Amino acid sequence: LVAFATFVCFAASRSHEAYTALAIMEVVITLLFFLLYLLKLDKKMKWLFWPLADIFNSVVAAVFLLVVCLFAIIIKTNYGTLVGGVFGLLLFLLCIVDAVILFQKISLSGPRGTNYPTR
């Protein structure tokens, strides 16, 4: 929702295309990961370790969001760009939190896909 709010602010204020493109890409990628986990496709496609791909996505998105949203806030061509930059920085923080929580939850050495406790 924060990524969508960022997109709406950038699109409504007719700010630079890079701001709008980054926001819409983050919305689309987030929706794709949401559908992947919702439809349990990660269990069917075991050839990729999806939580690690999700962490990689969050880190890359956080780097791009930090750079682009700081530019949007510094330049602030209008009020919509400023608000979109603030929402983008909030999204940056959420991406960092997502990456940290996912990294803490995954275990690269243990078994994957088990529902029973280990001894």
* Location of structure tokens 């602010």: 9
Task: List, in sequence order, the alpha helices (H) in 1-119.
Answer: 2-12, 17-38, 41-44, 50-75, 79-105
Average pLDDT for runs of 10 along the chain of length 119: 78 76 84 84 75 82 85 78 82 87 73 52
pTM of the predicted protein model:
0.70
Centroid of chain to Cα 32: 11
